[in-house]
A and B are shown apart, each in its own frame.
Chain A
Amino acid sequence: KQEVTQIPAALSVPEGENLVLNCSFTDSAIYNLQWFRQDPGKGLTSLLLIQSSQREQTSGRLNASLDKSSGRSTLYIAASQPGDSATYLCAVRPQGGSEKLVFGKGTKLTVNP
Protein backbone atom coordinates (compact mmCIF):
# COMPACT_ATOMS: atom_id res chain seq x y z
CA LYS A 1 0.00 0.00 0.00
CA GLN A 2 1.39 3.38 -1.00
CA GLU A 3 2.25 5.71 1.87
CA VAL A 4 3.37 9.32 1.62
CA THR A 5 5.35 10.98 4.39
CA GLN A 6 6.26 14.62 4.86
CA ILE A 7 8.88 15.60 7.39
CA PRO A 8 8.98 17.91 9.24
CA ALA A 9 5.34 18.49 10.15
CA ALA A 10 6.11 22.15 10.78
CA LEU A 11 8.89 24.54 9.80
CA SER A 12 9.58 28.15 10.77
CA VAL A 13 12.11 30.26 8.87
CA PRO A 14 13.07 33.94 8.61
CA GLU A 15 12.03 35.89 5.55
CA GLY A 16 14.44 35.67 2.62
CA GLU A 17 15.70 32.19 3.38
CA ASN A 18 15.80 29.50 0.72
CA LEU A 19 14.14 26.33 1.97
CA VAL A 20 13.39 22.75 1.02
CA LEU A 21 10.31 20.73 1.87
CA ASN A 22 10.54 16.96 1.70
CA CYS A 23 8.14 14.28 0.54
CA SER A 24 8.80 10.55 0.47
CA PHE A 25 6.69 7.71 -0.87
CA THR A 26 7.02 3.97 -0.39
CA ASP A 27 6.19 2.64 -3.87
CA SER A 28 7.98 4.03 -6.93
CA ALA A 29 5.22 2.88 -9.30
CA ILE A 30 3.51 6.25 -9.73
CA TYR A 31 2.05 8.21 -12.62
CA ASN A 32 2.84 11.60 -11.16
CA LEU A 33 3.38 13.66 -8.03
CA GLN A 34 1.72 16.95 -7.16
CA TRP A 35 2.59 19.63 -4.67
CA PHE A 36 -0.27 21.64 -3.16
CA ARG A 37 -0.59 24.68 -0.97
CA GLN A 38 -3.36 25.06 1.61
CA ASP A 39 -4.10 28.31 3.40
CA PRO A 40 -6.04 28.17 6.70
CA GLY A 41 -9.74 27.57 6.12
CA LYS A 42 -9.26 27.15 2.39
CA GLY A 43 -9.08 24.40 -0.17
CA LEU A 44 -5.91 23.09 -1.74
CA THR A 45 -4.25 24.83 -4.68
CA SER A 46 -2.08 22.79 -7.02
CA LEU A 47 1.38 24.32 -7.33
CA LEU A 48 3.34 21.89 -9.45
CA LEU A 49 2.71 18.53 -11.07
CA ILE A 50 5.61 16.27 -12.07
CA GLN A 51 4.94 13.36 -14.40
CA SER A 52 6.80 10.14 -13.63
CA SER A 53 9.05 10.64 -16.67
CA GLN A 54 10.11 14.10 -15.52
CA ARG A 55 12.80 15.10 -13.05
CA GLU A 56 11.62 18.57 -12.09
CA GLN A 57 9.14 21.36 -12.63
CA THR A 58 9.54 25.07 -11.98
CA SER A 59 7.08 27.88 -11.40
CA GLY A 60 8.44 31.25 -10.34
CA ARG A 61 10.29 30.84 -7.04
CA LEU A 62 9.18 27.23 -6.72
CA ASN A 63 11.07 24.21 -8.00
CA ALA A 64 9.94 20.65 -7.45
CA SER A 65 12.15 17.65 -8.13
CA LEU A 66 11.29 13.99 -8.36
CA ASP A 67 13.55 10.98 -7.80
CA LYS A 68 11.17 8.15 -8.45
CA SER A 69 13.62 5.34 -7.85
CA SER A 70 14.40 6.54 -4.34
CA GLY A 71 10.80 7.54 -3.61
CA ARG A 72 11.55 11.18 -2.92
CA SER A 73 10.46 14.63 -3.99
CA THR A 74 11.52 18.04 -2.79
CA LEU A 75 9.89 21.43 -3.09
CA TYR A 76 12.43 24.24 -3.14
CA ILE A 77 11.21 27.74 -2.30
CA ALA A 78 13.63 30.53 -3.11
CA ALA A 79 13.78 33.81 -1.21
CA SER A 80 10.87 32.95 1.06
CA GLN A 81 8.26 35.61 1.90
CA PRO A 82 5.66 35.87 4.70
CA GLY A 83 3.01 35.26 2.03
CA ASP A 84 4.48 31.79 1.51
CA SER A 85 3.22 30.81 4.96
CA ALA A 86 0.82 27.92 4.46
CA THR A 87 0.63 24.15 4.67
CA TYR A 88 2.27 22.35 1.76
CA LEU A 89 1.08 18.88 0.82
CA CYS A 90 2.38 16.40 -1.68
CA ALA A 91 0.37 13.65 -3.30
CA VAL A 92 1.20 10.78 -5.62
CA ARG A 93 -0.96 9.01 -8.18
CA PRO A 94 -0.13 5.30 -7.85
CA GLN A 95 -0.11 3.12 -10.93
CA GLY A 96 -2.74 0.41 -10.93
CA GLY A 97 -5.76 1.83 -12.70
CA SER A 98 -7.23 3.73 -9.78
CA GLU A 99 -8.34 7.36 -9.89
CA LYS A 100 -7.01 8.05 -6.43
CA LEU A 101 -4.30 10.28 -5.07
CA VAL A 102 -2.41 9.40 -1.91
CA PHE A 103 -1.68 12.49 0.17
CA GLY A 104 0.94 13.25 2.75
CA LYS A 105 -0.19 15.06 5.89
CA GLY A 106 1.66 18.21 4.96
CA THR A 107 4.33 20.55 6.27
CA LYS A 108 3.12 23.73 7.91
CA LEU A 109 5.47 26.53 6.87
CA THR A 110 5.75 29.83 8.71
CA VAL A 111 7.91 32.56 7.20
CA ASN A 112 8.65 35.23 9.78
CA PRO A 113 9.09 38.87 8.71
Chain B
Amino acid sequence: IAGITQAPTSQILAAGRRMTLRCTQDMRHNAMYWYRQDLGLGLRLIHYSNTAGTTGKGEVPDGYSVSRANTDDFPLTLASAVPSQTSVYFCASSAGLHKGEKLFFGSGTQLSVL
Protein backbone atom coordinates (compact mmCIF):
# COMPACT_ATOMS: atom_id res chain seq x y z
CA ILE B 1 0.00 0.00 0.00
CA ALA B 2 1.43 3.36 -1.01
CA GLY B 3 2.09 5.86 1.70
CA ILE B 4 4.42 6.97 4.44
CA THR B 5 6.01 4.62 6.95
CA GLN B 6 7.39 5.89 10.25
CA ALA B 7 9.45 3.91 12.73
CA PRO B 8 9.42 3.32 15.59
CA THR B 9 5.75 3.81 16.52
CA SER B 10 6.77 4.67 20.06
CA GLN B 11 9.97 5.05 22.06
CA ILE B 12 11.02 5.84 25.60
CA LEU B 13 14.43 7.50 25.68
CA ALA B 14 16.77 8.62 28.42
CA ALA B 15 17.76 12.28 28.33
CA GLY B 16 21.07 12.83 26.60
CA ARG B 17 20.72 9.87 24.26
CA ARG B 18 20.81 10.15 20.50
CA MET B 19 17.74 9.02 18.55
CA THR B 20 16.82 8.83 14.88
CA LEU B 21 13.22 8.70 13.78
CA ARG B 22 12.80 7.07 10.40
CA CYS B 23 10.45 8.10 7.61
CA THR B 24 10.05 6.50 4.20
CA GLN B 25 7.58 7.30 1.45
CA ASP B 26 6.91 5.40 -1.75
CA MET B 27 4.91 8.02 -3.63
CA ARG B 28 7.97 9.67 -5.21
CA HIS B 29 6.99 12.95 -3.61
CA ASN B 30 9.48 15.79 -3.85
CA ALA B 31 8.65 17.51 -0.58
CA MET B 32 8.89 15.98 2.89
CA TYR B 33 8.28 17.44 6.32
CA TRP B 34 8.69 16.70 10.01
CA TYR B 35 6.13 18.04 12.48
CA ARG B 36 5.68 17.70 16.20
CA GLN B 37 2.25 17.78 17.77
CA ASP B 38 1.77 18.92 21.35
CA LEU B 39 -1.41 19.44 23.31
CA GLY B 40 -2.43 23.07 23.22
CA LEU B 41 0.25 23.99 20.69
CA GLY B 42 -0.98 22.11 17.66
CA LEU B 43 1.29 21.03 14.83
CA ARG B 44 4.64 22.76 14.47
CA LEU B 45 7.06 22.31 11.61
CA ILE B 46 10.54 21.16 12.61
CA HIS B 47 12.36 20.75 9.28
CA TYR B 48 11.41 20.28 5.68
CA SER B 49 12.92 19.26 2.36
CA ASN B 50 11.71 20.56 -1.00
CA THR B 51 13.62 17.91 -2.94
CA ALA B 52 16.34 15.33 -2.47
CA GLY B 53 19.60 16.96 -1.41
CA THR B 54 18.02 20.05 0.14
CA THR B 55 16.63 20.78 3.61
CA GLY B 56 15.26 23.78 5.44
CA LYS B 57 14.41 24.87 8.96
CA GLY B 58 10.86 25.15 10.21
CA GLU B 59 9.45 26.87 13.28
CA VAL B 60 11.16 24.74 15.92
CA PRO B 61 14.40 23.31 14.49
CA ASP B 62 16.67 23.57 17.55
CA GLY B 63 17.90 20.22 18.82
CA TYR B 64 16.92 18.41 15.61
CA SER B 65 18.67 17.63 12.35
CA VAL B 66 17.54 16.03 9.09
CA SER B 67 19.04 14.69 5.91
CA ARG B 68 17.59 13.94 2.48
CA ALA B 69 20.03 11.68 0.66
CA ASN B 70 17.34 10.35 -1.67
CA THR B 71 13.70 10.95 -2.59
CA ASP B 72 12.21 8.28 -0.35
CA ASP B 73 13.87 8.75 3.04
CA PHE B 74 13.84 11.68 5.44
CA PRO B 75 15.24 10.74 8.89
CA LEU B 76 14.98 13.08 11.87
CA THR B 77 17.77 12.95 14.45
CA LEU B 78 17.78 14.18 18.02
CA ALA B 79 21.47 14.52 18.84
CA SER B 80 21.03 14.72 22.61
CA ALA B 81 17.42 14.29 23.68
CA VAL B 82 15.85 16.54 26.32
CA PRO B 83 12.51 16.13 28.14
CA SER B 84 10.97 19.04 26.20
CA GLN B 85 11.28 16.91 23.07
CA THR B 86 8.64 14.55 24.43
CA SER B 87 5.98 14.74 21.74
CA VAL B 88 4.26 12.98 18.89
CA TYR B 89 6.28 13.31 15.70
CA PHE B 90 4.70 13.15 12.26
CA CYS B 91 6.41 12.83 8.93
CA ALA B 92 4.53 14.10 5.87
CA SER B 93 5.06 14.42 2.15
CA SER B 94 3.58 16.16 -0.85
CA ALA B 95 4.17 16.36 -4.58
CA GLY B 96 5.20 19.98 -4.07
CA LEU B 97 3.81 23.48 -4.05
CA HIS B 98 3.09 23.68 -7.76
CA LYS B 99 1.79 20.13 -8.21
CA GLY B 100 -1.47 20.06 -6.27
CA GLU B 101 0.37 19.42 -3.00
CA LYS B 102 -2.14 17.49 -1.01
CA LEU B 103 -0.27 16.54 2.15
CA PHE B 104 0.06 12.91 3.25
CA PHE B 105 0.96 12.01 6.83
CA GLY B 106 2.51 9.00 8.48
CA SER B 107 0.98 7.44 11.59
CA GLY B 108 3.37 9.15 13.95
CA THR B 109 6.02 8.31 16.53
CA GLN B 110 5.22 8.82 20.20
CA LEU B 111 8.50 9.82 21.87
CA SER B 112 8.97 10.15 25.61
CA VAL B 113 12.24 11.59 26.92
CA LEU B 114 12.83 10.94 30.59
Contacts and interface: CB of A to CB of B under 8 A. Distances in A.
Interface of A: 31-32, 34, 36, 41-46, 49, 89, 91, 93, 99-101, 103-106
B58 interface: yes
For B33, B43, B56, which residue has the most chain A Cβ atoms within 10 angstroms?
A: B43
Contact of B42 (A45, A49, A103): A103
Contacts of A106: 42
How many B residues are at the interface, by size bracket? 20 to 34
Query: Chain A: interface secondary structure?
Result: strand
B56 A99 contact: yes
A32 B102 CA distance: 10
Contacts of A99: 31, 33, 48, 50, 56, 96-97
B99 to A, nearest CB: 12
A49 B102 contact: yes
